[in-house]
């Protein structure tokens, strides 16, 4: 620890260490952390199911059976699918990166920081 002293702790002969019970704040932080993790998992599953199964652009009409028109229609379908899925993916990654991960990091840091003191 920078600027502090290191304390040596002796483990009793029985090999067990007593720990102090969690405070009310630690209990609330653990419940909030569990709720946030559950929320993220549900959001991830819902958003991915929506992206994979619900969002599907209609296939463009194919003018003929020649390879050039098939390639053009496949390219059009690919572009349309990317444009439809982009806002949902951006919403999910933005929510995850800017809101959920910092909160989880804060709570985990508090819980593990509190235990190490």
Closest CA to 96 of 51, 36, 54: 36
**Whole-angstrom distance, CA of residue 105 vs CA of residue 108:** 5
- Does 72 reside within a domain? yes
Range of the domain at 32: 24-116
Domain total in the chain: 1
The alpha helices in the chain, defined as continuous H runs, are: 24-49, 67-95, 101-116
Residue 17 inside a domain? The answer is no
How far is the C-alpha of 35 from the C-alpha of 30, rounded, in Å?
9
Q: What is the mean pLDDT of the chain?
A: 76
Q: What is the pLDDT of residues 7-60, one digit of tens each?
A: 666 666 666 666 777 788 888 888 888 888 888 788 778 877 877 777 666 666
Residue with tokens 């804060």: 106
CB atoms within 10 A of CB 107: 19
Q: What is the pTM of this model?
A: 0.46
**pLDDT, tens digit, for every residue of 26-36?**
888 888 888 88
Does residue 61 lie in a domain region?
A: yes
């Amino acid at each position: 620890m920078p600027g502090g002293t290191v304390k040596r702790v002796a483990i009793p002969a029985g090999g067990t260490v007593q720990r102090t019970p969690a405070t009310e704040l630690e209990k609330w932080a653990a419940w909030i952390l569990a709720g946030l993790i559950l929320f993220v998992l549900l959001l991830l599953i819902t958003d991915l199911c929506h992206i994979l199964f619900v969002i599907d652009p209609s296939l463009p009409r194919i003018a003929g059976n020649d390879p050039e028109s098939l390639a053009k229609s496949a390219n059009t379908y690919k572009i349309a699918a990317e444009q439809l899925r982009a806002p949902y993916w951006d919403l999910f990654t933005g929510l995850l990166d800017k809101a959920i991960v910092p909160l989880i990091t804060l709570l985990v840091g508090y819980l593990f920081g509190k235990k190490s003191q």
